[in-house]
Chain A
Amino acid sequence: MSIQARTNGRKAVSGAFVVETSGLTKRFGERVAVDDVELRVPRGSAFGYLGPNGAGKTTLIRMLLGLTDATSGTMQLLGRPVPADRAAALARVGAIVEEPRFHGYLTGRENLCVIAAAREPEAYDRIDGALARVGLSQRADEHVKRYSLGMRQRLGVARSLLADPELLILDEPTNGLDPAGIHEFRDMIRGFVAEGRTVLLSSHLLDEVEKICDQVAIVDRGRVVMQGSIEDLAADGAPTILIATSDDRRALGVLGQHRAVETATAELDGIRLTLHCDVQAEGAADDIGRRMFEAGLAIRHFERARASLEQRFLEITSRLEEAA
């Protein structure tokens, strides 16, 4: 399905952001599940909504989709205000919230027919294509109660495609999938983005988000604490150096006293140094090299490492814990 075909003669909404929230808050009694969230999901991106379990990811998605009301704040989906213009906004949104659910006594195809009935008439014409896209054409006429979890996840994606979505919202979509299934899912999502669709992926799996997404928001205790491109987020983190010397034990002692080094950790193939955020990385690296030389240690490997999303996530959330 091309973007051209997807508009179906209707004017496609062309704002820069497919999801915009402002001051979005959801309370359950005294507990604040989503706290004053300002979120902007750029059109055409694979956007990761990343946070630990219980951070409020699913609650935010449920509000966006009209499954539960917001306590306060505003939301826009595809440029339309939600819930005021919810029907028009959701017409071009496909979603999997938590585990996709189906009528087990109906076949995969019949389950799609049920959902197509609630969408525009053209949704019926997309059923075969959607089933083929997720590799379920051969099993489409089997009862869903006989499907594996992976097949249900794929059927959930097929169901989302009935909307011919500009935006796909996937909540923990790789839960319960085996490594091959996860790999397949990752490729599928990248394929959707390549077609010009936007994918908003909520996950607590940092590695997964890093592999799939190009933009990310980190959420902790209901608040979005940081958002931007993964490269920018990683670059903003504390500089890291991997170093291997002729005597790592002695090197660890020397490096542990260096004023630029925040932590020095022995690893299997050397030492991982995390520098203080406020130091100038190039100058500190030169100085560390000089100290090694002065201590009579030969440097066998020296590399500026790119901070992983996981490191940044842990840095950000541990800072929050300290502040709390």
Chain B
Amino acid sequence: MSTTTITAELQRTHSRSPRRPRLVNAELLKLRKRRGLILATFALTVLPMIAAYIILVILHATEPAKHGPPGGLENFSGSMYVLTQLGVVAAILLGATAGAGDLGSGVFRELVVTGRSRLALFVARVPAGLGLVVAAVWAGFTVTAVASTVLAGSLEAPGAGLLVESAAWLAIVVGVALLLALGVSSAVGSRGTTIGVVVAWELVLMPFLLQMGTLGSLRELLPFAALERVGPSALFDGGVAVPMSLSVAIAVIAAWTIVPLAAGAWRTVNRDA
């Protein structure tokens, strides 16, 4: 489809269809047209899964006695760990861009001049960012799910229930990371700073804090501890790092999404455009 056809279609969809709010459509357009961002997102979520299973297939084919079948529950659990970590990075990239993209290019001012509520402009970023990141991690998840089932061989394959639970949990994990990055970048107004700070927090500082037993129950406040608690137990063979009640886990997850979003919304409404 040519660019003209796409935009003509977009115009038609925007003006006739009330199914998806127009501001969300516009946010999706802004995100998906960033070619580098979309390539990076899919490179982080789909490519590693394909590469990992290709390597496992080759290893199994060359030395079946040493390397078992590439599929099965254990490999599924391992690839889910990788997909979760890389999906979080993709979510941070998308969230930071959704939150600060308009500010960075100066278009936020042009949007404010339309008279549209600043809160509505902010809120539209949420479903657009979530839609894209969930689509990306689910594409990677599809590769994992299919490969771990089809290539299970003599091993136990992940059941349908576990696959559904895992897909939902994956969406929650990347969703929380996206909303955190979106809120922070909307508040800070800088995509680069947000990516640096949130990646460092999610991938360096938080895992480090999770390992610090001396922090005791304070670790319950860390989002990944809460996310582990609500995840499928089959994925965490050695048990979760910080045991906690389900209600505490849900409260912690809610706080880690609501607080940054509220900060981002407040700053969007009150900043000089």
A-to-B contact residues, CB < 8 Å: 62, 65-68, 86-91, 93, 95, 97, 100-107, 109-111, 113-119, 121-122, 124-125, 127, 141, 159, 163
Contact = CB atoms under 8 A, between A and B. Distances in A.
A86 B118 CA distance: 12
A221 to B, nearest CB: 22
Given A103-B30, A106-B33, A115 B114 contact: yes
Interface stretch (B9-17, B86-94, B248-256): B9-17
B3 to A, nearest CB: 5
B14 A100 contact: no
A83 B149 CA distance: 59
Interface of B: 3-4, 7, 10-11, 14-15, 22-23, 25-26, 29-30, 33-35, 101, 105-107, 109-117, 121, 272-273
24 contacts: A67-B113, A67-B272, A93-B115, A101-B110, A102-B105, A102-B107, A103-B30, A103-B33, A103-B107, A104-B105, A110-B33, A115-B111, A116-B11, A117-B22, A118-B22, A118-B23, A118-B26, A121-B14, A121-B22, A122-B15, A124-B11, A127-B11, A141-B4, A163-B114
Contact of A114 (B3, B15, B29, B112): B29
A117 B26 contact: yes
A177 B272 CA distance: 28
A226 B199 CA distance: 56
Contact of A113 (B10, B112, B116, B273): B10
A254 B220 CA distance: 95
Chain B interface mostly? helix
Contacts of A88: 115
Contacts of B111: 114-115, 118
A65 B112 contact: yes
Given A95-B113, A103-B107, A114-B107, A109 B7 contact: yes
B110 A65 contact: no
A67 to B, nearest CB: 4
A321 B15 CA distance: 55
B107 A101 contact: yes
Contacts of B35: 105
A104 B30 CA distance: 11
A105 B10 CA distance: 17
Contacts of A97: 109, 113
Given A67-B273, A125-B15, A110 B113 contact: no
Contacts of B3: 107, 141
A107 to B, nearest CB: 6
Given A68-B272, A106-B30, A114-B30, A119 B114 contact: yes
Given A114-B29, A116-B14, A90 B115 contact: yes
Top 4 A-B pairs ranked by shortest CB distance?
A90-B115, A101-B106, A117-B26, A118-B116
Given A117-B14, A121-B15, A107 B113 contact: no
B270 to A, nearest CB: 9
A102 B109 CA distance: 10
B25 A117 contact: yes
Contacts of A107: 3, 7
